[in-house]
Amino acid sequence: MSNPLIVVGVTSHQSSAVIDQALVFARKFDATLLCVHVDASRFVVETRDDGTVVAAPYDPDAGEAIDEVMDPAIVERAGAQAAAASTLIEFLETAGDPARTLGRIADERDAALIVVGARRASLGGSIREFFARSVAANLTHRQTRPVVVVPVETVGPKDALPWDEAR
């Protein structure tokens, strides 16, 4: 029987707290951590036998189909964190709607759970989330497996949020 799998959604500029927390779960479950980056500006044209994804932009004027490649900074940062935690780690670069893609990959790989980071609190982010919903919100409404949302900013119950100050 193989190790359980934990899927974590990663981005280039996210807090290291997301991968740190995913690693906590991976260690507790003796699981492999699968770091998945989803390019929301592109869609999958082809998935090759080796797992390489060929993606094209939604905007026809934005260019041609290309092989999706994981940002080396993500691989370096997450790889170092996993090595320090003595945890197996894999990387997958793909394209499409992040919530649907993370859910599909978790289903295909029979993941134990999905870990994502919460959005940073901002007035603009709240407006975007209202109209487009966050990846975390979409996952929690469309998944049959557990979804862990990692807070990326500590905000106490008495702290003002950016949209509170806009009133």
pTM assigned to the model? 0.78
CATH number of the domain at 35, please: 3.40.50.620
User: Which residue carries 């190790």 as its tokens?
Assistant: 3
**Averaged pLDDT for residues 39-55:** 81
- Whether residue 130 is predicted with pLDDT greater than 80 in this model: the reply is no
Stretch among 2-16, 108-122, 134-148 having the lowest mean pLDDT: 134-148
What tokens does 118 get?
């919460």
Number of domains, the chain: 1
Tens-digit pLDDT profile for residues 72-128? 999 999 999 999 989 999 999 898 889 999 999 999 999 999 999 886 554 455 444
Domain with 127 in it: 5-156+159-163
Per-residue model confidence (pLDDT) at position 133: 57
Per-residue model confidence (pLDDT) at position 21: 93
Per-residue model confidence (pLDDT) at position 27: 94
